[in-house]
Amino acid sequence: MNILDKIIADKFKEVELKKSLIPVPQLENSVLFKRECISLAENLKKGSGIIAEHKRRSPSKSVINQSLNVQEVAKGYEEAGVSGISVLTDGKYFGGSLEDLLYARASVEIPILRKEFMIDEYQVLEAKSFGADAILLIAAVLTEKQLIYLADIAKNLGMDVLLEIHNEEELQKSLKVNADMIGVNNRSLKTFEVSIDTSKVLAKLIPDEFVKVSESGISSTSAIADLKSYGFKGFLIGENFMKTDNPGAAAKEFITELKSIV
């Protein structure tokens, strides 16, 4: 069993427990459930294109940064000019929580993506009730039918959908999904090896109706300039900012440099 299989097995247990603790009507009665979402896809088209991530740790890198306040990080990212913020909510493997999402939402006015291993309708409702504007669906862990079902629920709630793929096979089963963005993850979820060439190879196969997002392993403005020439509008960056003492300042410096070359 690889790390992805372990994460998903644990996620099924976690979701069943959560359902028994906080029933769906309670989620739907949340003040934030009625909030109108801000489109991440539209923000990527007109802004810096950077989706800056709040991530404490990961299975591949262990601890990245455990000491920072999520509210300060989110505010710093917004002030830096990012187009959106990605908040990891998985606890066991990434050190995140739904409270991180809530605190980030209370701190900024820009779109927030709930970064999670989504396997159940309950998690989509949860995302909405805790203030997310967009959800992530990972083609590697869901069937075409599941992708379509979960995406439709998110869209009906007014949220954007970022559909993550790793290869052409996953892209093919994603084309009928009502997603706003297709994200190419440059990191293999099975080996954790990273190659930006993955984005370049798949770029020409992604229909223009989707906003193209490149994820993982992006650490330089020159890489973004290169990816823009392949039609990418969004760039998800996590460790590059989070490994510093001040992610907001790191993001600001990065975006300032990016503006000077593109």
| Positions marked active-site | 53, 55, 115, 164, 185, 215-216
Give the C-alpha distances (Å, rounded to integers) separating 3 from 96, 120, 156, 159, 183: 17, 20, 32, 29, 21
**For residue 134, which amino acid is it?**
A
How far apart, in whole angstroms, are the C-alpha atoms of residue 141 and residue 102? Answer: 26
Q: What is the DSSP string of 76-105?
A: HHHHHT-SEEEEE--STTT---HHHHHHHH
Residue type at 143?
T
Distance CA 138, CA 177 (A): 12
Q: Which helix (H) or strand (E) holds 106?
A: helix 98-107
Q: Are 173 and 192 in contact (CB under 8 A)?
A: no
